[in-house]
Amino acid sequence: MILLDGKKVAAFYRERIAQKLAAVTQRDQCPELAIVVVGDDKPSAMYAKSMQKTAASVGLTAAIYQKGGEASEEDVTALIESLNQNRQIAGILLMMPLPAHLDSQRIINKICPEKDVDGLTDSNVARLFTGRPAFVPCTPQAVMAILDYYHIELAGKHVVIIGRSNVVGKPVAQLCLNRHATVTICHSRTADLPAVVRQADIVIAAAGRAGLITGSMIRPGATVIDVGINRVDGKTVGDVAFDEAAAVAGAITPVPGGVGSVTTMMVLENVVHHFGNA
């Protein structure tokens, strides 16, 4: 069994991003990431800080733009438009969720698609779904980065995805389809989840249900990518019962130390995307 180590994949991208940045710094064009936080959602604030720290660790400036919870749609839109026009800023990351009185998708769509490093604008979604180059949400991108790093082929494989959200399940399905996999998407109304998962060459679990995918659902030798992040008895666990799945899988990601370790790095990778190859 191969342990698909997200930290190794993240280290690979960290090095690549740092090299790209070193090259652009010499050209005096260092890109910056703008992180927009609206309101006082604690996880958003923590994620923004951790993103800023990770960015700094690769030599990238990431500034947090904070708006109060009472901010109007016009206030937030005006901020985004000023960031769109700022040539120094290569990427804009809008922390979700926004306060309930704001129309999230309408605000997301104000982000210029070329700076939409988390791939959430309708424009980038359309590009992904029509097979054109696009920014893709960072978690699905992290899944693909892990599969690629470990040379796990997708063409002709049956990929079973558990979860159909717009940020994880659907985009990862499309990415796998674009790589010529045969894709099945499961959700809470799937009639016989174990029977479907058992057919998979590659399982991608993104349901947010601890222990949903058991060892008996895994076909011997299958690859298992666990996107889930759940808190159980003070511990972070995935959607896959790791020990029993690892006993039958050919390759598996741990939680923590799997997909989550790579996700932040994908945003940074997208920020430096335009800046030449290292």
Q: Which positions lie near ligand NAP, rule CB under 6 A? A: 139, 162-165, 167-169, 186-190, 193, 206-209, 212, 227-230, 259-260, 263
Q: Which is nearer to ligand NAP, 21 or 168 (CB)?
A: 168
| Nearest distance from C-beta of residue 258 to ligand NAP, angstroms | 7
- 197, amino acid identity: V
Distance CA 235, CA 67 (A): 32
CB of 256 to ligand NAP, least distance (A): 9
Pairwise CA distance, residues 269 & 278, whole Å: 12
> Of 168 and 272, which CB lies nearer to ligand NAP in the complex structure?
168
Compare residues 60 and 205 and give the one whose CB is closer to ligand NAP: 205
Quickly count helices (H) and strands (E) in the chain: 10, 11
Going from the C-alpha of 107 to that of each of 71, 110, 204, 231, 274, the distances in angstroms are 12, 5, 30, 31, 24
Q: What is the dihedral of CA 47, 228, 165, 153, to 10 degrees?
A: 110
The C-alpha angle with vertex 14 and arms to 124 and 118, in degrees rounded to 5, equals 15
Based on CB atoms, which residue is closest to ligand NAP, 167 or 248? Answer: 167
Q: Where are the beta strands (DSSP E) in the chain?
A: 2-3, 32-38, 61-67, 89-94, 158-162, 182-186, 202-205, 223-226, 230-232, 235-237, 251-252
- Minimum CB distance to ligand NAP, residue 209 (Å): 5
Nearer of residues 187 and 274 to ligand NAP, judged by Cβ: 187
Which lies closer to ligand NAP via its Cβ, residue 89 or residue 212? 212
CB of 70 to ligand NAP, least distance (A): 27
Task: Report yes or no: 184 and 161 within 8 Å, Cβ to Cβ.
Answer: yes
Q: How far is the CB of 226 from ligand NAP (least distance, A)?
A: 8
Closest approach of ligand NAP to the CB of residue 169, in Å: 5
